[in-house]
Structure 1
Amino acid sequence: MEKATPPPDGVYVPVPTFFKSFDKYGYKQPLDLVAQAEHTLLLARNGITGLVLCGSTGESVHMTQEERIQLISTQKKELVDNGFDKVVLMAGTASQNVDETLKTIADSKAAGADYALVLTPSYFASAGGYSEEGLRSWYVAVANDSLLPVLVYNYPAVTNNLQLSLSLMKQLATHPNIVGCKLSHGNMSHHLIISSSPEIDHSGFRVYTGLGQQLLPLLLSGPGAAGAIDGSAAYFPKTLLRIFALARKITTAGGGVTAEDWKEVHALQCAYSEAEEWVVKFGTVGIKEGVNQMLGISVGLDGGRLPFCETHVRKEFDRYRPAFEAVQEFERKL
């Protein structure tokens, strides 16, 4: 098996899934594909590299398989019909068993996805049931038969605090159908090591941070650093894209970098990081509220599907509003 091609470096948005209101439809709100398309095209017009559909932010665990595929296929069509066929689509796979993961990947490819973002299995993690060898074998089994190139998704906050070891990540990076990883945790040492280690062929294994707060330090860290897959970019895409562009200039332009470049990228990263504290605290429902507040795109009165309930989040937003408005000012100027 030849090494699969990694996704392009850049900024990806793990988009929320838009549902119609609980007040009208009860616990089984249908997808709001009109709002979804409005958001998809807004991001595409602002230059986003790609989208993650049916990931953690997308509430894939609250959706049926049919809804996941409908979401991917409709958003792919919207992109193609509006001239954005180069926008990359990653499909999330939140499953505990190999066969179901492979079925989700196959269905996602048929619907138009380009890559699979494969969340670590974790049901027995807190009970000490998983060894490094078991996790390696699980990912290898998926990658061997996956119809899409695989990115390892390491998100301890939703996987019983399971943190994949550096030795395991180095092993997985050698698989020809594993082309990168999303690291959704605050351990910058792991980001740096995985993006810099001489044991990894960085041309075939790219490292994305799951927190835009960490984009600048990641891109300064090593040759494997590829970008971000970040929730706040759902409403602040231009700011994170500008941070990416400036960081790339700093790491590739040598003497062409100016003091003004450093000043701008530090100001943008600081403001963006302050606003992202909202996401750190409130996660998916926080991102949905941010979309509602900053873009005016309706997410329904309740934001997500049960057991999500957004009422408590909306009450908290005013405390974070100044941080949001600071980044919004950058967005207006970019």
Structure 2
Amino acid sequence: MATITPPPDGVYVPVPTFFRSLDQSAYKQPLDLTAQTEHTLFLAEAGITGLVLCGSTGEAVHMTLGERAELISSQKRALLEKGFDKVVILAGTASQNIEETVSVIAESKAAGADYALVLTPSYFASAGGYSEEGMRAWYTTVADSSPLPVLVYNYPAVTNNLQLSLGLMKHLSKHHNIVGCKLSHGNMSHHLILSSSPEIDHNGFRVFTGLGQQLLPLMLSGPGSGGAIDGSAAYFPRTLLRIFALAKKIAAGRASPAEWSEAQELQCAYSEVEEWVVKHGTVGIKEGIKQVLGISVGQDGGRLPFCETHVRREYDRFRNIFETMQDFENKLKRDI
């Protein structure tokens, strides 16, 4: 049996899915693979480690299973054609039942994905329908059957505020086919413990934060910290990559005082721009892509019931913060 390894440490971007405007006659908003590919290649050229396709930001819950596979295969093909064969693809699953989850993973693998980012099932969470034993069995069964290595995706904001316990996460970390997790919540204690606990093999289980605004402190929290899977990197990738690189030097004790200062300055500015995503989520990320990169996100932005109209009206309140970050981004691009 081949050795199963975690995804490489680094910066991953949970990319939004691009749609064309609503076709009233067909009641559809078709995929816009041209815009999708333009954005994918921008990120690859900036040096990001990987993409998350069909995740929460990617509106997987608004897509058919066939569209998910089409999206992955088109972007994999575009990356390979341009020589970006090292860019890793994590595929979101976003399904409640085991059979469909495993089926989505299998289709994602066939389309070109390298890892599965498995969102916690949550439909009955607010009704008290889930036990620790049940969640353990659900994830274990998925991992046993998954044709791709699995990362546990803990995102309480989209799972009825269900947060997986430390005991459960430690147990799952020992599964041979579970190679890491994405923590999209602000509980820094959980990140520190899962990154540092002697009960976990940190070579086989990497902890990624879903919050780029916390990357610097979380990279210093323990040997299991793998990096970030963050939305603002969709338009400011070089800044987060620089924070990651500086954080690694700091954690290794090799950073100069000037590098410490640079890391703090960049993290502060990046955290400021992240407040836009905190407030507006997926549609905010799409508006950021439109404003910063000039890539079309379609008349409607997201797929209905998402609608960006209110977000576009608010962008001016954040414009100065975005322009400050763009200055950092431009300088980093020149310095390469």
Aligned to 1:189: 189
Aligned to 1:152: 152
Q: Is the 8 A contact 2:23 2:29 kept in 1?
A: no
The reply on whether 1:280 has 2:278 as its aligned counterpart is: yes
Aligned to 1:266: 264
Q: Alpha carbon RMSD of aligned pairs, Å? A: 1.2
Q: Aligned to 1:207, what secondary structure does the other structure show?
A: strand
Q: Is the 8 A contact 1:50 1:88 kept in 2?
A: yes
Q: Is the 8 A contact 2:11 2:244 kept in 1?
A: yes
Alignment of 1:136-285 (within 5 A): 136-252=136-252, 254=253, 256-285=254-283
Aligned to 1:314: 312
Aligned to 2:87: 87
The reply on whether 1:291 has 2:274 as its aligned counterpart is: no
Q: Deviations over 1:120-162 (max 9, x none)?
A: 0000000000001100100000000100000000000000000
1:331 alignment partner, one of 322, 329, 332 = 329
Q: Is the 8 A contact 1:56 1:92 kept in 2?
A: yes
Q: Is the 8 A contact 1:2 1:176 kept in 2?
A: no
- TM-fit CA distance, 1:320: 1.1
Kindly report structure 1 stretches of 4+ aligned residues shifted beyond 4 Å.
23-27
Q: What is the distance in 1 between the residues matched to 2:292 and 2:26?
A: 26
- TM-fit CA distance, 1:3: 5.9
Q: Is the 8 A contact 1:27 1:306 kept in 2?
A: no
Q: What is the distance in 2 between the residues matched to 1:218 and 1:75?
A: 30
Corresponding letter in the other structure for 2:15: V
Q: Is the 8 A contact 1:3 1:176 kept in 2?
A: no
Q: Deviations over 1:184-233 (max 9, x none)?
A: 00111111111011110100000000010011011000000000000000
Q: What is the distance in 2 between the residues matched to 1:133 and 1:161?
A: 18
Aligned to 1:57: 57
- TM-fit CA distance, 1:6: 0.3
Q: Deviations over 1:13-60 (max 9, x none)?
A: 000000001277774111000000000000000000000000000000
Using structure 1 for the length normalisation, give the TM-score: 0.98
- TM-fit CA distance, 1:321: 1.1
Q: Is the 8 A contact 1:216 1:243 kept in 2?
A: yes
Q: What is the distance in 1 between the residues matched to 2:229 and 2:310?
A: 26
Q: What is the distance in 1 between the residues matched to 2:184 and 2:308?
A: 23
Q: What is the distance in 2 between the residues matched to 1:113 and 1:249?
A: 30
Q: Deviations over 1:245-293 (max 9, x none)?
A: 00011112x2x32110011000000000000001011110000000000
Aligned residues: 332
Q: What is the distance in 2 between the residues matched to 1:111 and 1:217?
A: 36
Q: Is the 8 A contact 1:3 1:177 kept in 2?
A: no
Once the two structures are aligned, what percentage of the paired residues are identical? 76
- TM-fit CA distance, 1:99: 0.2
- TM-fit CA distance, 1:326: 1.0
- TM-fit CA distance, 1:323: 1.1
Q: What is the distance in 1 between the residues matched to 2:27 and 2:303?
A: 7
Q: What is the distance in 2 between the residues matched to 1:277 and 1:22?
A: 29
Q: What is the distance in 2 between the residues matched to 1:165 and 1:183?
A: 12
Q: What is the distance in 1 between the residues matched to 2:2 and 2:48?
A: 29
Aligned to 1:101: 101
Gaps of 5+ in 2: none
Distance 1:304 1:209, change over 3 A: same
Q: What is the distance in 2 between the residues matched to 1:172 and 1:317?
A: 41
Distance 1:319 1:212, change over 3 A: same
